Chain A
Amino acid sequence: MSVLEIAKGMGITLSKLFQKPVTISYPEQPAQLKPRFRGRHVLTRHTGTGLEKCIGCSLCAAACPAYAIYVEAAENDPRDPVSPGERYAKVYEINMLRCIFCGMCEEACPTGAVVLGNEFEMADYRYGDFVYGKQDMLVGTQGSKPQRREAKKYKKAVKMGFQVTVRPELEGVKYLASREVSS
């Protein structure tokens, strides 16, 4: 090691001392996510009719490498269909503890029904609470289970810790630019 090089290195570290840290103080400051961040799944609806896109084909469950998805299909009632197809998903569950957020389900889905969203703040206390059902993932649900539980308890809006530009696949999903989202 030559002394000049050491001096150069010391100069660099000293100059960094006066630079503003790049760390985001996360819970206080929102984290800036990349648009393609893969977070909690969203079950989308057709924009015009408002019908669920999912037709209960279980292709996502077959594609899932972590066996995290459970789909139970049922016949649609033609007079009051849930989805535009013959069948719809009566039960649609994803175990967020098993899920590795790989996005295979999104790729496998023929109707673009399941899309990985941007929410990631899902830490919770019980195993059972990590199994997310339809009501936890359909478009319009803001926040994860624990976040909604807390919002309900304190009668406050769900607080999200991130900012992101929403991808077009996430039809109908809005994360408000301000971090307060009404529940």
Chain B
Amino acid sequence: MPEWLLVLLIVVLKATLVSLGLLTTFAYMTLVERRLLARMQIRHGPNRVGFQGLLQPLADAVKSIFKEDIIVKNADKLVFLLAPVISVMAALTAFAIIPAGPAGSFFGEDPWVFDLDVGVLFVLAMTSMGVYGIFLGGWASGSKYPLLGGLRSSAQMISYELGMGLSILGLLMLVGDTNLRSIVEWQAANGAIIIFQSLAFVTFLISSFAETNRTPFDLPEAEQELVAGYLTEYSSIKWALFQMAEYINMITASALMATLFFGGYKGPAFLDAIIPGISSWPFVWFILKIAAFLFLFIWVRATLPRLRYDQLQRFGWKILFPIALFNTMFTAFYLAFFPNAPLWILGLLELGFVALWLAFSSRPAKEVLSTRAPMGGD
């Protein structure tokens, strides 16, 4: 067998594994999410299908596959069919680049599907492609609510994309490389980036919530105003594909946060003193970190109510965007004018900014409602 064919086969195999893994995770995420949400609301949650409801995702899958697949009359058929596929494809592709362990740790192969020097940019680009799925889906449905929902979500995702991109600029300046593996290795050498870029992490976290359309930013699915947003006309497997894309985006966002800010696939180095080499075990730390972030996503969903649309846009453009921009400028300033100063001072300053932001956010908001009559478009 020629060398290139072997490489190709291995890559295809890894891609299949990643897809299967993500799909299983998605299926069980729905179960875990429902159980956790239920427990946080002092209920049981789904516990009937199989032991403790463990077969529920299977039942859901069978149900959504065999449901009647409706294509509404006014729909643009091709685009209508294509939209969920675009969503899922973008979501899956984005995840494939994230390294899950050190090179050669996956049965002698590298634990990532492909490796690009523009890693971070690629992930950002791919996750933004998801907007096309949502927007095209809303447009191709040929009815009003999906169109509004699609418009809303694209506006939302584009607004928060900016904040997201800007919040990692500081990080990129620190590391000096966009390759995800270099970022992880830099962190292994210098300490997790969350220490030096806490402000950036906060903005990144909030933008990821908005990017993945999760509560409190799940406006596209605001049932009260928009039925089900861009999903309204979708049924059966196409609906399931959109759900899948949303959950995979969530997993990708978690993986990205873990990789960019929390040392990626490397575990905490001090554990090496107890069990030597534990910090560079592949997969374990990566999966643990993703799980922690996924729990955070669910936890927030159980707690926070949804923002109003104008609040969402105001928050994105007037608060998140300037802060992310400030963080970029500040980090650039620090790195340019004090190239020899230790990095922990930068970390301290960033922490100070976070505290300042918290203090300001805790002031009771005076404006809104009293001064401003509600308008039709809100």
Taking beta carbons and an 8 Å cutoff, which residues of A are in contact with B? Answer: 1-4, 6, 9-10, 12-14, 16-17, 19-23, 25
Give the bracket for the number of chain B residues in contact with chain A.
10 to 19
Q: Mark B361-373, 1 if CB is under 8 A from A, else 0.
A: 1111000000000
Q: Contacts of B302 on A, CB cut-off 8 Å?
A: 13
22 pairs of residues in contact across A and B, judged by CB atoms under 8 Å: A1-B304, A2-B363, A2-B364, A3-B361, A3-B362, A9-B303, A10-B300, A13-B302, A13-B303, A14-B40, A14-B299, A16-B40, A16-B41, A16-B42, A17-B36, A17-B39, A17-B40, A19-B42, A21-B39, A21-B43, A22-B42, A22-B43
Q: Nearest Cβ distance between residue B199 and chain A, in whole angstroms?
A: 14
**Known contacts A2-B361, A6-B304: does B40 contact A21 (CB below 8 Å)?**
no
Closest residue of chain A to B48, judged by CB? A25
Q: Contacts of B275 on A, CB cut-off 8 Å?
A: none
Chain A-chain B contacts (Cβ-Cβ < 8 Å), number: 45
Cα–Cα, bound, A13→B43 (Å): 12
Whether A6 pairs with B303 at a CB distance below 8 angstroms is yes
Whether B299 pairs with A10 at a CB distance below 8 angstroms is yes
Out of A4, A6, A16, which one reaches B39, CB within 8 Å? A16
Q: Is the interface of A mostly helix, strand, loop or mixed?
A: helix
Taking beta carbons and an 8 Å cutoff, which residues of B are in contact with A? Answer: 36, 38-44, 299-300, 302-304, 358, 361-364
Q: Contacts of B303 on A, CB cut-off 8 Å?
A: 6, 9-10, 12-13
Cα–Cα, bound, A22→B39 (Å): 10
Whether A4 pairs with B362 at a CB distance below 8 angstroms is yes
Cα–Cα, bound, A23→B42 (Å): 7
Cα–Cα, bound, A23→B38 (Å): 10
Q: Nearest Cβ distance between residue A178 and chain B, in whole angstroms?
A: 25
Not counting A13-B299, A16-B40, A23-B42, a sample of 12 additional A-B residue pairs whose C-beta atoms are within 8 angstroms of each other reads: A1-B304, A6-B303, A6-B304, A10-B299, A10-B303, A13-B40, A17-B39, A17-B40, A19-B42, A21-B39, A21-B42, A25-B44
Cα–Cα, bound, A131→B335 (Å): 84
Q: Contacts of B44 on A, CB cut-off 8 Å?
A: 21, 23, 25
Closest residue of chain B to A14, judged by CB? B299
Cα–Cα, bound, A6→B304 (Å): 7
Q: Contacts of B39 on A, CB cut-off 8 Å?
A: 16-17, 21
Q: Nearest Cβ distance between residue A3 and chain B, in whole angstroms?
A: 5
Q: Nearest Cβ distance between residue B308 and chain A, in whole angstroms?
A: 12
Q: Contacts of B363 on A, CB cut-off 8 Å?
A: 2
Q: Contacts of A17 on B, CB cut-off 8 Å?
A: 36, 39-40
Q: Contacts of A14 on B, CB cut-off 8 Å?
A: 40, 299
Q: Contacts of B358 on A, CB cut-off 8 Å?
A: 3-4
